[in-house]
Structure 1
Amino acid sequence: MKRFFSISYNPDLVHIWLIFLRIGVAVLMWTHGIPKFMRLLEGNTGFGDPIGLGSTLSFFLVIFSEAICSLLILLGLGTRLAVIPLIISCSVAAFVAHADDPFGKKELLLLYILIYLTLLVMGGGKYSVDATIGPKRRR
């Protein structure tokens, strides 16, 4: 029973969990980004303008974050940088575009933000491209 209340952890399991978290959140966000990318290829750039940047620019920025940054997170390439546009776009969606909606409509966006904040703090882990090209930690 003490094990369930322990605050110790296995660092190897943390890195394994980070790869599952990265893959999972990237694939889930792709389900939002790829349809928007396909709309772009069809020439349909109609989109909201929640913060006054213009609907076309807003559309490109959301596609960049949801499709391109998700791919980077999947690979673990520039993970900490790649989550920043996703944190911004999910925050704008939750707190501006859906500001008047009930909590249930924002809940998924808030969960995404929490996951992206976790990846911002933790990085991609040792099973990422970041780990192969980044500086090696001394122990």
Structure 2
Amino acid sequence: MLKKLVAVDTPDAGLLFARLTGAALLLWVHGLPKLLHWRTELAHIDDPLHLGGGITLACALFAEVVCPLLIAAGLFTRLACLPVLFLLLVSMVLVHPDWSVEQGQFGWLLLIVFGTIAIAGAGRWSVDRRLAS
């Protein structure tokens, strides 16, 4: 029984797990609150690139709502990771440069998860793989 479980293509299972859990965390913790309370967010959002609050919030919503949905599905996965990685880097380096590693650990861990997915791709269990076939 254990051999059959281990015989599952573990790299693809790991990528599926990373895609689903990373996307769910990003969407739940950051994306949905911004989407549901966008007026409040618009009044308080940091604008480190000086694009204006509306554009900054729209970019954040794209990276934290649309991209996680694409990543979870495994559709345009590597491309969908790029806005997420950019947003996380801007947040960690420009918005919160004073944070210690402990204070920013969630952001750094998300960078690791989505960076890994961007490097490795979506894996076999993804829409990307079905489209390539």
How many matched pairs? 126
Out of 27, 39, 55, the position equivalent to 1:57 is 55
**Any gaps of 5 or more consecutive residues in structure 2?**
1-6
Out of 125, 130, 133, the position equivalent to 1:132 is 130
Out of 1, 5, 22, the position equivalent to 1:25 is 22
More helix by share: 2
CA contact (8 A) 2:24 2:68 kept: yes
Inter-partner Cα distance in structure 2 for 1:37 and 1:59:
9
CA contact (8 A) 1:98 1:105 kept: no
CA contact (8 A) 1:73 1:79 kept: yes
Question: Which of 1 and 2 has higher RCO (CA within 8 Å, sep 6+)?
Answer: 2
Inter-partner Cα distance in structure 2 for 1:119 and 1:98:
24
SS of the counterpart of 1:104?
A: coil
What is the RMSD of the two structures over their aligned residues, measured on CA atoms? 1.8
Inter-partner Cα distance in structure 2 for 1:62 and 1:105:
21
**Any gaps of 5 or more consecutive residues in structure 1?**
1-9
- Partner residue in 1 for 2:77: 79
Q: Considering only CA atoms, is the larger Rg found in Structure 1 or Structure 2?
A: 1
Normalising by structure 1, report the TM-score: 0.84
CA contact (8 A) 2:88 2:111 kept: yes
Normalising by structure 2, report the TM-score: 0.87
**What is the identity percentage for the equivalent residue pairs of Structure 1 and Structure 2?**
30
CA shift for structure 1 position 53: 1.3
